[in-house]
Structure 1
Amino acid sequence: MKKIQGLIIIFCCWAGTLHAQNPQKLGWIWGPSVGWQYQSGNFLKASGWGLFAPNDYQYIKFNAGANFAWMQRKTTIIPEVSITYYLSNRLIFPFIQAEATPYTITPKVGISVLSMVDLGVGYGFDIRTKEDFKPLKGLTGSVTLNIPLKLY
């Protein structure tokens, strides 16, 4: 848990430093996202993200946030970081994504509409089981709305 929290802090500092150094040159788009995911149960996802384009046909998005769930009569909050690689500059963007929590690593594939609405499917691999919680593994599906606050 402390390793994931440390990674989230390092990522946020790194992304903030890059943006502060030269935001015009990097062309970052950033904002919040909210979504739903099913992975051994229903989760509400809330996060912040930053997206940049290394060239005209590829986009990379970094995301850090939390998953909220009501399972086994308990409210649970699970931190999560992810990286998404979009390939396209058209209306529909295919993507691959890797998500990591203290309990699961989840690779995904999917499609996105202008990287604003993501529809993904994947498989979660259990790293360890949260105490007094069921294992978070198996097939997963998600829908995410990315809200850009800065368009560049």
Structure 2
Amino acid sequence: MRSKTIYKFLGSLVVLLAIVSNLKAQDHLIGPTLSYQFQKGSIIKTGAYFAFPFIGDHILRADATANFTWTQKKFAVIPEAAVTYYPQTYVLTPFVRAELTPYTFTPKVGVSLATLVDIDFGYGFSINEKKDYNPIKGFAVSLRFSIPLNYRINM
């Protein structure tokens, strides 16, 4: 029940942020994302993201991904929603991120190269158990590549 409430909140937040960004007529980035994460096993993540500036140089990003994992001699596909906050738009910038699956909540901190390549570290807290699996929790490290489909260079 608790995870449904969290998903409803995150979904509402993403929709609200999308509406607000369109009302302000600011630029945004959308595109696919591919990442590798190690957290109690190897995880390949693929999905899409939507990022937009707000309050000056700050950037907010929402991701929806599918996590493909082979752990405990079992294959699983786990959906994930994430929100990332970049406090500045420098080429090399720090960020904070929160990832949510039906089984784990993982707050993270990291560094980004122009929001194209991210490296982050965090700790996953178990919020629900997957049937026939050990709890998916513990330290996590990720390397993420994001390809903006609507990027343009102003010269």
Return the TM-score normalized by structure 2: 0.84
Measured in 2, the distance between the counterparts of 1:87 and 1:9 equals 20
Give the residue type in structure 2 aligned to 1:126. Answer: S
* Percent identical residues: 35
- Relative to structure 1, is the Cα distance of residues 116 and 13 closer, same or farther in structure 2, using a 3 angstrom cutoff? closer
Question: Does 70-79 or 32-41 show the bigger shift?
Answer: 70-79
Query: Post-superposition shift, 1:28?
Result: 1.6
- Relative to structure 1, is the Cα distance of residues 7 and 31 closer, same or farther in structure 2, using a 3 angstrom cutoff? farther
Measured in 1, the distance between the counterparts of 2:110 and 2:68 equals 22
Measured in 2, the distance between the counterparts of 1:98 and 1:86 equals 12
- Relative to structure 1, is the Cα distance of residues 35 and 61 closer, same or farther in structure 2, using a 3 angstrom cutoff? same
Give the residue type in structure 1 aligned to 2:72. Answer: Q
State the partner residue of 1:14.
15
Secondary structure of 2:25's counterpart equals helix
- Relative to structure 1, is the Cα distance of residues 8 and 31 closer, same or farther in structure 2, using a 3 angstrom cutoff? farther
Report the RMSD for the aligned CA atoms in angstroms.
Answer: 2.8
- Relative to structure 1, is the Cα distance of residues 73 and 97 closer, same or farther in structure 2, using a 3 angstrom cutoff? same
Structure 2 portions without partners, runs of 5+: none
Measured in 1, the distance between the counterparts of 2:80 and 2:131 equals 17
Return the TM-score normalized by structure 1: 0.86
State the partner residue of 2:95.
95
> After superposition, what is the alpha-carbon deviation per residue over 1:35-68, rounded to whole angstroms, capped at 9, x for unaligned?
0001111100111100000134211100111110
Q: State the number of aligned residues.
A: 151
Is the contact made by 1:87 and 1:95 (CA closer than 8 Å) also made in structure 2?
yes
State the partner residue of 1:55.
55
- Relative to structure 1, is the Cα distance of residues 12 and 45 closer, same or farther in structure 2, using a 3 angstrom cutoff? farther
Measured in 2, the distance between the counterparts of 1:123 and 1:13 equals 23
State the partner residue of 2:128.
128
